Structure 1
Amino acid sequence: MKAVICREFAPVEELEIGAFDAPEVAPGKVLIDVEAAGVNFPDGLMVQGKYQTKPPVPFVPGSELGGTVRAVGEGVTGLAVGDRVVAFSGTGGFAQQALVPAPQVFPLPDAADAVVASGMLITYGTSYHALKDRAQLKPGETLLVLGAAGGVGLAAVELGALMGARVIAAASTEEKLALARTYGAAETINYATEDFRERIKELTGGKGVDVVYDPVGGDLTVPAIKSLAWYGRLLVVGFAAGQIPQIPANLLLLKSASAVGVLWGNSLRADPVHHAGNIAQLLEWLAAGRIKPEVDTVFPLDQAVKAINHVMERRAQGKVILTMAAEGESK
């Protein structure tokens, strides 16, 4: 089969596009003919050996996908050959076929677009788990989303608004903030041109925000913590800025605040039944048009390096998708 191949941990440009042995179905697993796969920031970290987990090389990157069930392994129930599905693969998604543990494969409603859905599991799964399970976000609370035009950030804006929160979106350009407003942000902050903390004080009447969704890290995290309201919650989602911030514990103490870690993939593996319910809800909203994931660019598999770099350089507004198409590129 054709695949993106990481032969050793190295810069993204060292990835190969070529032939790789197709996986064989195994007990408890589902073999999927891949139609499309979402591109995520951790994919770029993983091929460089910079992610929390390091798969043995050579391997095929790609942590989420959509496609059709080709075969089901012994013991798998609820899925059949020919079913349209989306899946969290962890690795292996950037290929024509992928083998995924059955609890990480989810039926796709007939009304849902497979290409769009192939790139929403991680962003929307992460954001829904973060807001619903980890922050226990309540209607009427104020949610501050950093990196609000990226994949997980934009999903958090949309889901936060759907869940009844007042959403403040923070990003680095007016174009990104305009996109966030179309997804439900009530107010916006340009942290490249505005005083971040003063703007939050202005928007909240000095009270601060109830929840901070932080996939960025770096220099923004500590000012965001300082801007929490009493009993506020900081959601530690990722470090797209490239720097893992040191959180002064006294800042949490002063507001009786919490710093809460969010790692959706591991959480899904630990409690697949709960997360199956979350994913079913998200796919139901997708099919009904209540959420509309933003697709930034669709690349063919041959342009995987370009697609990953587009995400790693934080140029994407919404989700980047790889299809198994051999050539061309579409927006």
Structure 2
Amino acid sequence: MRFGAPADSVELQRMTWPEPAPGQVLIRVHAAGAGYPDAMMAAGHFPLMGDPPFGLGEEAAGEVVAVPSGSRFSVGDQVTGITGFLDGWGGYAEYTYLREESTIRIPAGMTTEQAGGFPIAFRTAYAGLVDRAPIEAGEVLLVLGAAGSSGGAALQLGKALGATVIAVAGSQEKLDFCKRHGADHVLNHRSGDLPARVADITGGRGADVVFDPVGGETAAAALAAIARNGRVVLIGVASGKPVPLDSMDMLLRNYSAVGVLATPGSPAAEAVVWQRLADLADRGALSTPVGRVYDFREVPEMISRQTAPAPGKTVVRITSE
């Protein structure tokens, strides 16, 4: 591919997949999760990506077809994980490599589409709400873009960790979606005074943690609703603009901002993260809120829609099981 509009830049290529190297697992892809980063990559705005061509699709689920010696997986295992997209092996393909340290067997009861859209969003939410700005039971979590991929995952993880969750979205359809997936309170950022409504819900205290994959004006309004000693978790810029941080305001109200990039830690640390996520999924506390499912041939159209997606996690069906 080349950078540009998805209809012009995204193209099919015939490839071969060598035997997986240590740390890789080769799978036949059944479904792949999608999101706003796809649009950034296609346009050439994704900060970690080099020059094209490269493979699109950060996560995928499917059947293991080859493993290196010493792998903890076996041929035939049904798994989901993060692809080697930074090395050119994306999930929108018949086969792809997963990073073994970021791969798990698909939890019981999880559909193929749910599995395909599970790893990135929930690993990102975990990095924000456990690793970087730990949310504690009883605290208030304000989730921006709560009907989207990472926002929907943060909503569920926050609930699983015992927080009261206020979900923020931009339409009644999206607010209804958030309510169905466990939000305690829902707010439309397009109507009314967001800080005043958060203050009303929290008895004037504000939100302990703001989970921000959006940036821009919505995030700026959310910062006005943060509690003293609160934390804002910077996940992304779906609005196209980062949240404007005022260091004097941070000082006077004693809150902090942390950036979150869910890169792997040590193999031992990653194993703990993924086991905890898998356990929560097995218990039904986490479930990918699947939205629209696209066919493989619709990938360019799908990417073009990721700047304003419908509620839920977008997933691409690659091959039948």
Report the TM-score range of the alignment, normalised by the length of the smaller protein. Answer: over 0.9
Normalized against structure 1, the TM-score is what?
A: 0.90
Call closer, same or farther: CA 1:121–1:195 in 2, change over 3 Å. Answer: same
Q: Deviations over 1:189-243 (max 9, x none)?
A: 1111111111112112221110000000011222222221111000001000011
Percent same amino acid at aligned positions? 33
Equivalent in the alignment of 1:243 = 241
SS at match of 1:222: helix
Equivalent in the alignment of 1:39 = 34
Instruction: Note if contact 1:112-1:283 (Cα within 8 Å) is conserved in structure 2.
Output: no
Task: In structure 2, give the amino acid aligned to 1:185.
Answer: A
Equivalent in the alignment of 2:12 = 18
Equivalent in the alignment of 1:296 = 291
After superposition, residues 127-276 of structure 1 pair within 5 angstroms as: 127-264=125-262, 266=263, 268=264, 270-276=265-271
SS at match of 2:306: helix
Normalized against structure 2, the TM-score is what?
A: 0.93
Is 1:54 the counterpart of 2:52? The answer is no
SS at match of 2:316: strand
Task: In structure 1, give the amino acid aligned to 2:233.
Answer: L
Equivalent in the alignment of 2:75 = 81
Call closer, same or farther: CA 1:90–1:318 in 2, change over 3 Å. Answer: farther
Equivalent in the alignment of 1:284 = 279
User: How far, CA to CA, are the matches of 1:206 and 1:304 in structure 2?
Assistant: 45
SS at match of 2:12: strand
User: How far, CA to CA, are the matches of 2:132 and 2:191 in structure 1?
Assistant: 31
Instruction: Note if contact 2:29-2:318 (Cα within 8 Å) is conserved in structure 1.
Output: yes
C-alpha displacement at 1:19, in angstroms? 3.3
- After TM superposition, the structure 1 stretch with the greater mean CA deviation from structure 2, 140-149 or 54-63, is 54-63
- After TM superposition, the structure 1 stretch with the greater mean CA deviation from structure 2, 51-60 or 64-73, is 51-60
User: How far, CA to CA, are the matches of 2:285 and 2:198 in structure 1?
Assistant: 29
User: How far, CA to CA, are the matches of 1:290 and 1:309 in structure 2?
Assistant: 32
Q: Deviations over 1:17-45 (max 9, x none)?
A: 43321221232122111111000211210
Equivalent in the alignment of 1:98 = 96
Call closer, same or farther: CA 1:272–1:239 in 2, change over 3 Å. Answer: farther
Instruction: Note if contact 1:106-1:276 (Cα within 8 Å) is conserved in structure 2.
Output: no
Instruction: Note if contact 2:156-2:285 (Cα within 8 Å) is conserved in structure 1.
Output: no
Q: Deviations over 1:163-186 (max 9, x none)?
A: 111111111111211111122211
C-alpha displacement at 1:245, in angstroms? 2.8
Gaps of 5+ in 1: 1-6, 327-331
SS at match of 1:85: strand
User: How far, CA to CA, are the matches of 2:317 and 2:67 in structure 1?
Assistant: 23
Call closer, same or farther: CA 1:253–1:90 in 2, change over 3 Å. Answer: farther
Q: Which has the higher contact order (CA 8 A, sep 6+)?
A: 2
Call closer, same or farther: CA 1:291–1:110 in 2, change over 3 Å. Answer: closer
Call closer, same or farther: CA 1:109–1:222 in 2, change over 3 Å. Answer: closer
Task: In structure 1, give the amino acid aligned to 2:131.
Answer: D
C-alpha displacement at 1:325, in angstroms? 4.1
Instruction: Note if contact 1:17-1:302 (Cα within 8 Å) is conserved in structure 2.
Output: no
Indicate which of 303, 306, 309 corresponds to 1:308.
303
Give the total of aligned pairs: 315
